[in-house]
Amino acid sequence: MSQLKNDRYLRALFKQPVDMTPVWMMRQAGRYLPEYKATRGEAGDFMALCTNPELACEVTLQPLRRFKLDAAILFSDILTIPDAMGLGLYFETGEGPKFHHPISSKMDVENLPVVDPELGLGYVMDAVRTIRKNLKGEVPLIGFSGSPWTLATYMVEGGSSKAFTKIKKMAFAEPQTLHLLLDKLADSVILYLNAQIAAGAQSVMVFDTWGGVLSPRDYQLFSLQYMEKIVAGLTREYEGQRIPVTLFTKNGGQWLEAIAATGCDAIGLDWTINIADAKARVGDKVALQGNMDPSVLYAPKERIEQEVSDILAGFGKGEGHVFNLGHGIHLDVPPENAGHFVEAVHKLSKPYHN
């Protein structure tokens, strides 16, 4: 980690001593920043922004110019893999992602290719290389992917869903079809994340946005076992540097012990769990990332500081905490509030590291 001017984030993931708790924000490159909106306008639309390495680099770096964040995260979308598999990703204004060719049969699954990331997703690797070069070793770069279960939900539902009836119908009526899909996706995610690591990502994260809609048994069966497969298949050391992996299941607080047993380095927490409880359950095994409710960023400065203070006190002394929001920053949060948040984490966390 010696090539970095600020390696606080990586050190925290490996539970090594730091001078203050590192902080970054999910969706820190995004719509709450006016400069992001301007760059997106220049690109034309969201996918044009994702597939342009120079513009993806620009929006990745924008929040770092404003705030003293301890990591950059690749600007991309979790649905790049299904798009590269030929499902035809597009975005409807105000409705989120959709697919022209959703998965509806076993034959659809059998016909899906496992994506060669340098071919089908070369624009992502070009973005990673461009960002690493432009970061100039200031802070580490996080690469990421969606989890197989989360990707499958979008691919089978055809877009976002509230009840997840199509994917759950597949899970219970045709489980072998769903397992075939999840296995193919896990293989693709392994290749994709390892390609990001080879291109320059110094840490990787798997976003299991929809794992929390499953029962405990089905979470293990349809989500966690495939994330465990990914963890086992990842490059954990590259060019002499250890590469940490973080798993994040939204609404996954009840399964922390099982997530920690996958061999990951860190678990992302949403705001529905108390961080002191999480640490008591798994703290010596893995680092913890989280876990302020993003809506606190609407509050006055003093209230934001109080929340930061409470979460820091909950984690307490000791290493292995990366401060973050429990999910992505909301698009109408004032940027100065995000700045207060980052400053508060750094200022208030120093007494916990000595």
Say which residues have a Cβ less than 8 Å from residue 33's Cβ, sequence separation at least 6.
Answer: 62, 63, 66, 335
- Is 27 known to sit in a ligand binding site? yes
**How far apart, in Å, are the Cα atoms of 259 and each of 143, 226, 227, 269, 304?**
20, 11, 9, 11, 29
> In Å, how far are 19, 119, 183, 186, 241 from 229, measured between CA atoms?
34, 23, 9, 7, 22
Is 154 annotated as belonging to a binding site?
A: yes
Say whether 303 counts as a known binding-site residue: no
Residue 261 to residue 236: CA distance in whole angstroms: 16
Residue 236 marked ligand-binding: no
Q: Are 98 and 155 in contact (CB under 8 A)?
A: no
DSSP-derived letter for residue 23 is B
Helix (H, G, I), strand (E, B) or coil at 52: coil
The residues assigned a catalytic role are 27, 31, 40, 77, 154
Q: Is 31 marked as a binding-site residue?
A: yes
Residue 236: burial class (beta carbons within 10 Å; 0-12, 13-18, 19+): middle
| 289 assigned binding-site residue | no
Query: Which residue has 């099982």 as its token pair?
Result: 258
**Which of 288, 265, 321, 6 is closest to 140 using CA atoms?**
6
Q: Which residues are annotated as a binding site for substrate?
A: 27-31, 77, 154, 209, 327
Q: Which residues are annotated as a binding site?
A: 27-31, 77, 154, 209, 327
